[in-house]
Every structure is written in C-alpha cells, then in structure tokens.
Amino acid sequence: MKTTAYTLLLLLLAFTFAPDCAADDIVQIVSLDSLPPSVVKTVPVCGDTAVDPNLREISVTYSKDMKVTGHCWSWCGAADSSFPKLDGKTEFLQDNRTCVILVALEPEKTYAIWMNVDKYQSFQDPYGHSAVPYLLVFKTAAREPSKE
C-alpha cells in the first residue's frame, strides 16, 4: 500500500511541476509554417575544397518559400578577407527559395560566408521567421595553366 501511495504522490508531483506541453501545443509548434527556414542546399557545397575559381554564382536554397521583396537577404563575411568580391546583382530565383549572388572568385582561396548571423537576419519566410544561421565554407582550386 505504501508503494502505491508513494507512486501516486510522485506522479502527482511530476504532473504539477511538469511544463505545460499538451500534444496539441507540440503540433502547433512543430509545423512548416511556425518553424524557421533552414538551408537545404548550397552551390558550391559546404566543405568543398576544389571549387572552380571561374564559378560566377553562389546560391543558397531554403526549406520553404522566402520573403523575396525588397532587400531580403543577409550574406555576411566571416571576415572581410573571406567574403568574395561581388560582381553583380543579388536576387531570388522564381522558386522563391533560392537566392543567388554573382561573384568573382580567386584561385586557392578559402571563403567563409554567413547567411543570417548576429544582427543581420534578412533571410526570412513570408511570416517574418528569420532563417537559421548557416556558415558556408569552401576553397577554390588552383587556376589551370592556360594552354597556349
């Protein structure tokens, strides 16, 4: 009898002090609309150590549609020396998930580009949820000698 009473007391205490997390609340929190967008693809691929230095576009694709009107991106350098030279306009593609920057890369250089970091949170979905910060790091290959 003591064991049953003790068990009931423990269960009562657990329910009294447990956070309010009913199943309906969890379903509301975990949905595509309520969660922030996250990176699902980059070009070049993060960690690539042999990126063609002639690559002219860097792109990031998110897990859901993004806000695409106005200045809706936050491409940030981890350091000034690790951010590529911009070579044109930044824009979202028609899929509303992929943002592209035009660049001029140098051979044998490591690049580190943040998307949404610190106070720069302009990558957002249409509901205003800022995308999860993402660090894209890659290195360009040596330029091939010209064949003359």
**What's the domain count of the chain?**
1
pLDDT at 143: 82
The CATH number given to whatever domain includes residue 96 is 2.60.40.1220
User: Is 148 inside any structural domain?
Assistant: no
The per-residue DSSP string of 108-140 comes to: T-EEEEEESBTTB---B-TT-PBPPPEEEEEEB
Q: Which domain holds residue 94?
A: 37-139
pLDDT score of 15 = 47
Burial class (CB in 10 A: 0-12, 13-18, 19+), 59: middle
Q: Is residue 107 part of a domain?
A: yes
> Which stretches of the chain are DSSP H helices?
2-17, 23-29
| pLDDT (tens place) for every residue of the chain, 148 residues total | 555 554 444 444 444 445 555 555 555 567 878 899 999 999 999 999 999 999 999 999 999 999 998 888 999 999 999 999 999 999 999 999 999 999 999 999 999 999 999 999 999 999 999 999 999 999 999 987 656 5
pTM for the predicted model, two decimal places: 0.77
**Structural domain includes residue 66:** yes
* Residues 109 and 139 sit within 8 Å (Cβ to Cβ): yes
Residues 6+ apart with CB under 8 A from 80: none
Residue 27 lies in a domain: no
Give the residues across from 139 on adjacent strands. 110
